[in-house]
Amino acid sequence: MAIQIPRGTQDILPGKVELWQYIEEKVHTICKNYHYKEIRTPMFENTELFKRGVGETTDIVQKEMYTLVQKGKDSLTLRPEGTAPIVRAYVQHKMFGDATQPTKLYYMGPMFRYERPQAGRYRQFSQFGVEALGSKEPSIDAEVIALAVDFYESFGLKKIKVLLNSLGDVESRKSHREALINHFKPHIEEFCSDCQARLEKNPLRILDCKKDRENPLMETAPQTIDYLNEESKEYFEQVKEYLQAMDIEYVFDSNLVRGLDYYNHTVFEIISESEGFGAITTLSGGGRYNGLVQEIGGPETPGIGFGIGIDRLINALEAEKIEIPLETGLDCYVVAMGENANRKAAELLRQARKEGISCDKDYLSRKVKAQFKAADRANAKFVAVLGDDELERNVINVKEMATGNQEEVALAEVVEYLIRLTKQ
């Protein structure tokens, strides 16, 4: 029996990988426009990083991490999210001392979580994210949200919505925490074992529980907005004012808490409202995490960021029936007849490729008709035909597939000829 791909993973084959490449180019372009620099971290980190950074009480740490034991000593974990590794690198390499501040970074790559696979959610999934470290200005919160919105809109997505909330500062979160404990404690036995364990450790996580979301106590639970102190209220108001100034529409969502322990102040999600997208509408999410840098061993440093799932983006494009104009064809296909012609074709291909022309030839010793079919399947713009007669006269016949126009070109000039035609 043939070996199959592991559950919760996917092969991205030619024909589909071009869309991924297109998305990756968009990532690089928009981050350059916003002056964010790319950073690449290892795919696995010390397990302690995620326990301290993401939070001991989160589903990620308790249930979803792929953790390895190296030679019976070090515990290593495949990264389940992108922020903690970025912050670890920021601290380790003392990026807080760089002259250019704040430190604005972006990343793109695979993440790993052990969870039930479903549409748009894999155990190995690709994520693009940004992190802005070193600024406590509300304007950078708005910038990070704007970057995410601009990214989605650059693909032509129309049916997206920004959900916004504030968790407040440490003092505000402490007041809200006490209110949550008092609210849930008398009836905590009605909730799942996870929620019962979270009650004293991190009651905010109860609000994020998928099993007990229909419990009536969820509807009447204390909301974060009601426990914000004056400083947190003012901060949140400024974030909203900046979003309005940037013409970013948003909806206040008092139930939005996010699933990671490090968030405070601004939190947000971007969802799809497209019909047929599925029950899980979240495309991306993020927020502010003042305190995370200190938790990982660095100096007091504010930060904010987001993570965007590439698979979810592709689902949104499909749901809105957006066709991405991908360039998948060849500039030229050389049809060669005979051994001498094949050798000359190989020479021409190398010359053309050095000049940036995408080209190919037959490698299966097919007849001329079959070679033309191969050129058509490759969506070649031009077909160059070379046989013994052409070799004797040092020429080659170049045919434009779209119009059928054909021209005889000197072999010594064909590469320059193709450059003129394909670079117009």
Q: Looking at 11-25, 73-87, 136-150, 175-189, which range is the least confident one?
A: 175-189
Dist. CA 355–CA 341, nearest whole Å: 21
Closest CA to 284 of 269, 272, 274, 305: 269
pLDDT value of position 203: 83
| Same domain, yes or no: 240 and 376 | no
Q: 3-class DSSP state for residue 387?
A: coil
Is residue 204 assigned to a domain? no
Residue 275: CATH number of its domain: 3.30.930.10
Structure tokens at 169: 């500062």
Is residue 5 assigned to a domain? no
Is residue 109 assigned to a domain? yes
Entry pTM = 0.90
Does residue 91 surpass a pLDDT of 80? Answer: yes
Q: Looking at 100-114, 125-139, 267-281, 351-365, which range is the least confident one?
A: 267-281
**Residue 112 φ then ψ, to 5°:** -140, 125
Dist. CA 166–CA 300, nearest whole Å: 21
Is residue 98 assigned to a domain? yes
Is residue 2 assigned to a domain? no
Domain end, chosen from 289, 319, 349, is at: 319
Looking at the DSSP assignment, which residues form a beta bridge with residue 198? none
Is residue 61 assigned to a domain? yes
| Same domain, yes or no: 242 and 357 | no
Show the domain range for 383. Answer: 332-419
Band of residue 177 on the pLDDT scale cut at 50, 70, 90: confident
**193-201 and 170-184 helices, crossing angle to 10°:** 140
| Same domain, yes or no: 361 and 282 | no
Residues 283-318 have pLDDT tens digits of 999 999 999 999 999 999 999 999 999 999 999 999
| Same domain, yes or no: 164 and 262 | yes
Is residue 411 assigned to a domain? yes
State whether the Cα torsion 51-52-56-61 is positive or negative: negative
pLDDT value of position 259: 62
| Same domain, yes or no: 249 and 352 | no
Does residue 340 surpass a pLDDT of 70? Answer: yes
| Same domain, yes or no: 154 and 242 | yes
H or E, element range at 119: none
Q: Supply the mean pLDDT for the chain.
A: 92
| Same domain, yes or no: 132 and 257 | yes
Dist. CA 331–CA 78, nearest whole Å: 41
Does residue 92 surpass a pLDDT of 90? Answer: yes
| Same domain, yes or no: 311 and 391 | no
pLDDT value of position 35: 97
Residue 395: CATH number of its domain: 3.40.50.800
pLDDT value of position 151: 97
**Residue 271 φ then ψ, to 5°:** -120, 160
| Same domain, yes or no: 77 and 160 | yes
Domain end, chosen from 284, 319, 354, is at: 319
| Same domain, yes or no: 255 and 134 | yes
Domain end, chosen from 290, 319, 348, is at: 319
Query: To the nearest 10°, the Cα dihedral for 251, 322, 124, 262?
Result: -20
pLDDT value of position 72: 67
Domains in the chain: how many in total? Answer: 2
Does residue 34 surpass a pLDDT of 70? Answer: yes
| Same domain, yes or no: 114 and 234 | yes
User: Strands, E, within 134-232: which ranges?
Assistant: 160-166
Does residue 207 surpass a pLDDT of 90? Answer: no
Structure tokens at 241: 């004012």
Query: Beta strand pairing status for 303-309 and 282-288?
Result: antiparallel
Query: Beta strand pairing status for 37-38 and 103-112?
Result: parallel
Closest CA to 386 of 417, 347, 424: 347
* Contact present, 267 and 208 (Cβ < 8 Å): no
Is residue 150 assigned to a domain? yes
Residues 58-69 have pLDDT tens digits of 778 888 899 988
Helix/strand/coil percentages in the chain, nearest 5: 40, 20, 35
Dist. CA 192–CA 196, nearest whole Å: 6
Name the amino acid, one letter, at 330.
Answer: L
Dist. CA 255–CA 218, nearest whole Å: 9
| Same domain, yes or no: 342 and 244 | no
